[in-house]
A and B are shown apart, each in its own frame.
Chain A
Amino acid sequence: MFDHLSSRLAPIFDRLKKRAVLVEKDVNEALIEIRRALLEADVALEVVQSFIDRIRHKAIGHEIIKSVTPVQQVIKLVHDELVHLLGEDAGGINLEAESPIAVMLVGLQGSGKTTTAAKLGLRLSTQDKQKILLASLDVYRPAAQEQLRVLGCEAGIETLPIVEGQLPAQIAMRAMQAAKLSGVDVVILDTAGRVHIDEPLMVEMSSVKALVNPHEILLVADALTGQDAVNIARGFDSCLGLTGVVLTRLDGDGRGGAALSMRAVTGRPIKYAGVGEKLDCLDLFRPGRVADQILGMGDIIGLVEKASQAFDAGTSEQLARKMEKGNFDLTDLSGQLEQMTKMGGIAGMLGMLPGIGKIKDQLLSSRMDDQSIKRQIAIISSMTPLERRKPDVLKASRKKRIAAGAGVRVEDVNKLLKMYYQAVDMMKAFGKGKRGKKKGTTSGLFGGGLPQIPPGLSGLSGSGGGLTDFFRSLKKKD
């Protein structure tokens, strides 16, 4: 997501940077290109227009052209406007109300409401420690209620028992009563998908709203939506009065235009983003970071957060001590690789690194995918405990056995070992305090001495070209 936009904007800014002086014409030309880039990224036309107008007004009105670093100023303007467009951090749904709180999810067919209901339930119950009840008011789509029941089971969240033949309003009332009786904090009401111009269904929705007086009405919208995003958001907002938006499929390779349009059109914050098919793949939406990502500035905070979730501080410290003593063995390496996959794999991590956008596609297309990490883990798993502890014992016949066990070639085993020895050498160098220039790369990449990142990983990344080198070593498999 957003890669397309950021890869379109980068050359525009690059071209501007080549100019010593900026004249009004340059800014105008750049704005025409930015306009096109935004339109191609599916940002709604009216949003694009006002975005461009505001930047033009500020850029030309405020003597930016005459300032010392005009291009930087323009980029900053674009960034600020993007942040403005995306709105403030909404911080999830507001739980400050008398329980049971009703949360209604509405949207078009196929936008992801049912899945989002389960994801939101899981998130609120695990992270916010709320007691949740899920209820499906979708009596139209075949098996929709069953779908929510199954998802509820998977997430370990209670769902309202299905009673056939009830109308949406009746189900909603039953859900609220059940919630009151059993001390539920939040009731999540999944509604049937509907087109915002389908009057009978919108009226039905309003009557449900009047009955349960929901604390939040969230529009669930597909991040891949095109220009119609404006009509959808307006239609639902004017009929129901939305309190926020949940964007789904932000893990697709859409251009993210809907993200920029939704908030601008409704004035309601985007609260959550669906980022995967699994039930724990629902993140808070962070507008500032999205703006950074669009401008190719990466999402270091996101990376750090992911890292801190994936890494256990205790083990990391242990590991660090091991490394200092030079006792880092293949079991530890395997653990590190597994943690990398937990952090969303290479693609996920690369996506969050600043300035890497341009090479990301190359890296990924050269089959440096998560498969190679898995393969490395498989190789280590095919070793005996002794071999993992003391890789020095690995000679030809052992390597042959391991390669056969992991379903790879002997070269692959060799490459893994080479990578391992490089990492060990580096750690030893660090351990002895010979930090030298290499440290610069490491801290540069990870935003400077982040405690959550285990030294092993940063060690690996420090082999000259940083992470890319490490990835290259993974890639050399063919």
Chain B
Amino acid sequence: MTKKVETNENMQGKEADKQESSSPIQKKGWIRRLSDGLSHSSGTIRKHAFSLFTKRKLDESLLENLEMVLLKADFGVGNTISIIQSLRNEYNGKDVSPEKIAGTLAREVERILLPVAHPLNIANTHHPHIIFLVGVNGSGKTTTIGKLATQFRKEGKKVMLAACDTFRAGAIDQLKIWAERSGTEFIARAPGADPAGLLFDAISQARKEGMNILLVDTAGRLQNRQDLMAELQKLVRVAQKQDQTAPHDIIIVLDATTGQNALQQVEVFKKTAGVTGIIMTKLDGTAKGGILLAIADQYALPIHAIGIGEGINDLQPFTAHEFAQAIAGQREREQSQ
């Protein structure tokens, strides 16, 4: 593995920069970061809001424009219509200020998201606490595991990573590097090995070594591949064989750039694998993650965290208030004032 070292340094250099910028004032840092990411959406909303609301009266053409903004943020047709409807009911024909409309929008978003914003809580009752990360290909499972492992290590937990993605080329090496970076234990087998067998051994070993948490990386799978979904079900059964209450968390990793298909992903993974929570990645781009509203509305699954970059610290707890404020552009206003 010596050949990896230099690349590692390379990457660590890159991350060190990011860490520096985010760690001293972490709370403010992540909010700004999320706002930065989301500002592309909130920016448009605000821009529209300001340009629209110089007219002062909320009429149909304003609502239509606001509808466009929400649709572009992947809110989905259904949610957009209901938000617009509630704005219409509240303000139709009345004089409104941009602050007021943005405030209402933020309130509406927060109302929907508040019940599902739950940070990932690891009770100290299971040894080890087994967490599966599942999702479609390329959603960011392995990177998210690396970030989670780092956080758990910082909390002083003993963590093991199991490389149950034996299918994708390079997945095992990738996870191994994350294990080295985060200082966690790592268990893997040869590429192409049976993930179920590996999982069984990983749980035994984690138990033997007194691990607090076992993070299981699974292969990416499209939810319409019945065979692959069956394989995932098998992994769940294998975990249950070792510990009836396992897996204690099954987290689906969703890519923020995904559109309405994210709903299907949640639906199928929930039905077949019993997903218990959500982490949304790639919110540092221009994608808005508005689909979270539809997901919160339909499935009421806890949203644990959001990924806002490639650095080891770029995973932050999800809070409805911040997310809503950022989406509605309120945060920027507070900052600029």
Interface residues of A in 192-237 (CB under 8 A from B): 195-197, 222, 224-232, 235
User: A25: shortest Cβ distance to chain B, in Å?
Assistant: 19
Please tell me if the beta carbons of A143 and B285 are within 8 angstroms of each other in the complex.
Answer: no
A144 within 8 Å of B by Cβ? yes
B249 within 8 Å of A by Cβ? no
Q: How far is the CA of A158 from the CA of B137 in the complex (A)?
A: 25
Please tell me if the beta carbons of A224 and B226 are within 8 angstroms of each other in the complex.
Answer: no
Beyond A110-B282, A235-B286, is A252–B170 a contact (Cβ under 8 Å)? no
B3 within 8 Å of A by Cβ? yes
Closest to A274 in B: B137
A239 within 8 Å of B by Cβ? no
User: B139: shortest Cβ distance to chain A, in Å?
Assistant: 6
Q: Chain B, 1-34, contact with A by CB distance < 8 Å: what is the 0/1 string? A: 0011111101100100000000000000000000
Interface residues of B in 291-315 (CB under 8 A from A): 291, 310
B255 within 8 Å of A by Cβ? yes
Which of the 9-residue segments A38-46, A59-67, A124-132, A384-392 touches chain B? A38-46
Closest to B11 in A: A140
Please tell me if the beta carbons of A143 and B173 are within 8 angstroms of each other in the complex.
Answer: yes
Which residues of chain B come closer than 8 Å to A150, judged between CB atoms? Answer: 169-170, 191
Beyond A40-B77, A222-B138, A255-B261, is A228–B288 a contact (Cβ under 8 Å)? yes
Beyond A112-B137, A253-B224, is A228–B285 a contact (Cβ under 8 Å)? yes
Q: How far is the CA of A249 from the CA of B258 in the complex (A)?
A: 12
B264 within 8 Å of A by Cβ? yes
Q: Chain B, 163-193, contact with A by CB distance < 8 Å: what is the 0/1 string? A: 0000111111110111000000000000100
Please tell me if the beta carbons of A228 and B286 are within 8 angstroms of each other in the complex.
Answer: yes
Please tell me if the beta carbons of B170 and A42 are within 8 angstroms of each other in the complex.
Answer: no
Q: Chain A, 461-478, contact with B by CB distance < 8 Å: what is the 0/1 string? A: 000000000000000000
Which of the 9-residue segments B66-74, B98-106, B148-156, B238-246 touches chain A? B66-74
Please tell me if the beta carbons of B286 and A226 are within 8 angstroms of each other in the complex.
Answer: no
Please tell me if the beta carbons of A162 and B3 are within 8 angstroms of each other in the complex.
Answer: yes
Please tell me if the beta carbons of A228 and B222 are within 8 angstroms of each other in the complex.
Answer: no
Contact of A249 among B140, B143, B169, B222 (CB under 8 A): B222
Q: Chain B, 107-134, contact with A by CB distance < 8 Å: what is the 0/1 string? A: 0000000000000000000000000000
B316 within 8 Å of A by Cβ? no
User: B144: shortest Cβ distance to chain A, in Å?
Assistant: 11
Interface residues of A in 32-51 (CB under 8 A from B): 36, 39-42, 44-45
Q: Chain A, 370-392, contact with B by CB distance < 8 Å: what is the 0/1 string? A: 00000000000000000000000
Please tell me if the beta carbons of A196 and B285 are within 8 angstroms of each other in the complex.
Answer: yes
Which residues of chain A come closer than 8 Å to B136, judged between CB atoms? Answer: 224, 249, 252
User: B76: shortest Cβ distance to chain A, in Å?
Assistant: 8
Per DSSP, chain A at the interface is loop
Interface residues of A in 331-390 (CB under 8 A from B): 369
Closest to B68 in A: A45
User: B318: shortest Cβ distance to chain A, in Å?
Assistant: 19
Q: Chain A, 89-128, contact with B by CB distance < 8 Å: what is the 0/1 string? A: 0000000000000000000111110100000000000000
Beyond A143-B170, A222-B255, is A40–B260 a contact (Cβ under 8 Å)? yes
B257 within 8 Å of A by Cβ? yes
User: B70: shortest Cβ distance to chain A, in Å?
Assistant: 10
Contact of A225 among B4, B7, B143, B257 (CB under 8 A): B257
Please tell me if the beta carbons of A110 and B139 are within 8 angstroms of each other in the complex.
Answer: yes
Please tell me if the beta carbons of B285 and A227 are within 8 angstroms of each other in the complex.
Answer: no
Beyond A143-B173, A144-B170, is A226–B259 a contact (Cβ under 8 Å)? yes
Which residues of chain B come closer than 8 Å to A141, judged between CB atoms? Answer: 143, 174, 310
Contact of A164 among B7, B257, B261, B288 (CB under 8 A): B7
Please tell me if the beta carbons of B6 and A195 are within 8 angstroms of each other in the complex.
Answer: no
Q: How far is the CA of A229 from the CA of B255 in the complex (A)?
A: 13
B48 within 8 Å of A by Cβ? no
Please tell me if the beta carbons of B261 and A42 are within 8 angstroms of each other in the complex.
Answer: yes
Which residues of chain B come closer than 8 Å to A44, judged between CB atoms? Answer: 72
Instruction: Kindly name the residue among B6, B137, B140, B177 whose own CB sees the greatest number of chain A CB atoms within 10 A.
Output: B137
A257 within 8 Å of B by Cβ? yes
Beyond A227-B74, A252-B222, is A112–B138 a contact (Cβ under 8 Å)? yes
Which residues of chain A come closer than 8 Å to B77, judged between CB atoms? Answer: 36, 39-40
Please tell me if the beta carbons of A253 and B257 are within 8 angstroms of each other in the complex.
Answer: no
Interface residues of B in 226-268 (CB under 8 A from A): 226, 255-262, 264
Q: Chain B, 275-290, contact with A by CB distance < 8 Å: what is the 0/1 string? A: 0000000101111100
User: B167: shortest Cβ distance to chain A, in Å?
Assistant: 8
Q: How far is the CA of A145 from the CA of B316 in the complex (A)?
A: 28
Which residues of chain B come closer than 8 Å to A197, judged between CB atoms? Answer: 40, 285-286
Please tell me if the beta carbons of B259 and A257 are within 8 angstroms of each other in the complex.
Answer: yes
Please tell me if the beta carbons of A147 and B169 are within 8 angstroms of each other in the complex.
Answer: yes
Please tell me if the beta carbons of A224 and B258 are within 8 angstroms of each other in the complex.
Answer: yes
User: A423: shortest Cβ distance to chain B, in Å?
Assistant: 27
Which residues of chain A come closer than 8 Å to B168, judged between CB atoms? Answer: 147
Q: How far is the CA of A238 from the CA of B94 in the complex (A)?
A: 42
Which residues of A approach B to under 8 Å, CB–CB? 36, 39-42, 44-45, 108-112, 114, 139-148, 150-151, 154, 162, 164-165, 195-197, 222, 224-232, 235, 249, 251-255, 257-258, 277, 369
Rank and list the top 5 A-B pairs by shortest CB-CB distance, nearest first.
A226-B259, A147-B170, A110-B138, A42-B259, A143-B173
Q: List 16 A-B contacts (CB under 8 A).
A: A39-B77, A45-B71, A112-B137, A139-B10, A141-B174, A142-B11, A154-B169, A165-B10, A195-B286, A197-B285, A224-B255, A227-B73, A228-B74, A235-B286, A252-B223, A257-B259
